[in-house]
Chain A
Amino acid sequence: MFETLLSGFWESLVEIPEFLEINYEATIQRFVDWFAATFDVIFGAIRDFVRRVIYNLELWLLAIPWFIFVILVFLAGWRLKNLTTGVVLGLMVVYIASSSLWEHTMSTFVIVIFSVIVCFILGLPLGILMSKYRPVEAVLRPILDLMQTLPTFVYLIPALMLLGLGSPAAALSTTIFALPPLIRLTYLGITTVPTEVREAGTAFGSTPIQLLVKVEIPQALKSIAQGINQTTMLAISMVVIATLVGFGGLGEEIYGALASGRRGVGQGFVAGFATVFLAIILDRLIQGVAERFDHSEGGES
């Protein structure tokens, strides 16, 4: 009898009391509904604008014959790096064209380009503000740290919630995910301009704007270009995941392959290679540009 009493008591402890059962989901859902409804005009406008830009970009890119891309990538690789790089990168484009993934690659490419441009427009000023003003740094730094520790999938949720399924949500989550390195490397580039160089600018009577535009930013360009490179790489990795919010591209192929199990292995690899090659091409070319800004001893130019 004692035992039954005890076990009954224990059970009551194991059970979570009713007053603690809060319906967080409903609360959050209600908040999101309210938020989305209230700012529907703004988010609707953003959604439509982004969708139109991406749609048109894609149309233009698809209107260009594939071999023009091969030639352009070859020339860029050759001029920026060397002949071998040009040839290898050109062959990668040929592979993509021959794998019947051209359209998928182009839609992925468009989201990447769009996100990187938005990242640049946001990230450069933020990085500069962070390097100039202590309070901005104090606020931004923990946010950037948080952004880099969050699981990738988390980025999809706010995008989905605000913009609904489709390419705008993919672009938004990609942008947010890819933004931190550009801010960080802009900040790094500006704060590591040698003190003496900055002092020289001041000593000759530069205004703060002249100092920024003619001394600090040019000195930080190599670092900023590396930031763009890292941002681009992150964007490519995110676009694949962004398939989950209803966007096509190479990610769709990869998920399709995963869904079809063993029979999808071939399809998965083909699309995987296309993604990797896209990343390599962009990486090499942006690095080639970054090296142009290296004026240190032993650097080029």
Chain B
Amino acid sequence: MAKPVTIQNSSVVFGNHAQKKAAIELLDGELSPQEIRERTGATVAVRNVNLDIKEGELFVIVGLSGSGKSSLIRTLNLLNRPATGKTFVGDRNLLEMSKKELRRYRRNEVSMVFQNFALLTHRTVIRNVQYPLEIQGVSKKEYTERAEEAIRMVGLEGWEHYMPSQLSGGMRQRVGLARALTNDPEVLLMDEPYSALDPLIRREMQNELIKLEDEMDRTIIFITHDMNEAFRLGDRIALMKDAEMVQIGKPDEFFDNPASDYVRNFIADVDKTRILKVRSIMNKPAYIAKQGDRVKDTLEAVKKRELSFTYVTDENRKFLGYVTLDQLKRSRGKTIDRLINEDETVIYRNAFLREAWPKLKEAEYDLPVVDGKGRLRGVLDYDVVVDALAD
């Protein structure tokens, strides 16, 4: 199960004890990080950052090098310990964990993909991938099976017994990703995972990540300095500069309401229609009925929300169709099962807006948005799309 991540007033400061103490005093003041460093000798890498990352979200933090984005993501597995604030994963504050709890958290709930892969070069591919489970005392049979599964997921079957030095950069990062998936984490941290790869491979890896992400249920936090990458991948994006958050929002919000000239410059060479994805501007359906629900209950819920129809899914959230308000009013049956209008016109949530447009024009109602497994994930509103493409 994915978990939400909440960062409250978090700051990361580097320096010796006295320097840090002096710098923390100045965090709430007006001085820039540069000035704080000149005065105290401590480096402020992250300053009073607040983030609310939802469960299952693919959240991208973007910024130039030195903006503090890497320092921030590393507070989520405590490779960096924040000097101030709170860091919640689920409902637990990481900063209050004992050593043992922290180790358990790192083993079971979080994992990380590194910029330069950070593979254990003395181990074969499969022995790299099994490492997170091996150190937990999982049986050999189990960790081998799960490592093989992770290797399959990233498309490296057949390479299990090669050494990392025999693989290309893209393949090495696949090993890094597989290793981060073996312990089935709720939160996946990716620290500039594709920055060391050449552009073609990078594009391929991004597409694979989008596909993989679709099949898994986990919160992903992704760091990059590449705005195009950020917009291609992110459900929401946070832009950092000089240790602080400049703007946080869905991709289209950056275009609609850039918070400053800095943001405007940053997104200047991003091609919007190629980058805006259905998922980034879709809304949550106001109500979803389940197969087997009683007509009476459904009617009540739909009326209460002043809707004219509702989508229906099965118990696994798989999209089945819709039921209109009129149907519900007229029905004499007990459950809504026989009323469902099967609807073929759905849109895949990772489609770009360009592809969604023709379908949207045909549709009678707003378009239901589904993931790769056909589960209902949201609804695409005609007006929202028009707005997004307008400027």
Residues of A within 8 A of B (CB): 194, 196-197, 199-207, 210, 214-215, 218-219, 221, 293, 295-299, 301
Contact = CB atoms under 8 A, between A and B. Distances in A.
A76 to B, nearest CB: 22
Contact of B112 (A203, A219, A295, A296): A203
Interface stretch (B117-125, B319-327, B359-367): B117-125
* Count class of interface residues, chain B: 20 to 34
Contact of B165 (A199, A201, A296): A296
Interface string B104-137: 1111101110111111111100000001101110
Contacts, number: 73
A205 B136 contact: yes
B280 interface: no
Given A197-B118, A199-B118, A204 B165 contact: no
B39 to A, nearest CB: 28
Given A214-B131, A301-B163, A203 B120 contact: no
Interface in B159-186: 163-165, 179, 183
B77 interface: yes
Contacts of A205: 103-108, 132, 135-136
A295 B121 contact: yes
B165 A194 contact: no
Closest 10 CB pairs of A and B: A205-B107, A205-B106, A200-B118, A196-B118, A295-B121, A204-B132, A218-B122, A203-B112, A205-B103, A210-B135
Nearest to B104: A205
B103 A218 contact: no
A298 B79 CA distance: 31
Given A210-B135, A295-B163, A295-B165, A203 B121 contact: no
A298 B120 CA distance: 16
A214 B135 contact: yes
Given A199-B114, A200-B112, A204-B111, A293 B122 contact: yes
Given A196-B116, A196-B117, A196-B118, 17 more contacts: A194-B118, A196-B114, A197-B118, A200-B112, A200-B114, A201-B120, A202-B106, A203-B111, A204-B131, A205-B103, A205-B107, A207-B135, A214-B120, A218-B123, A219-B120, A221-B122, A295-B164
A201 B117 CA distance: 12
B110 to A, nearest CB: 8
Contact of B120 (A197, A199, A207, A296): A197
A298 B165 CA distance: 8
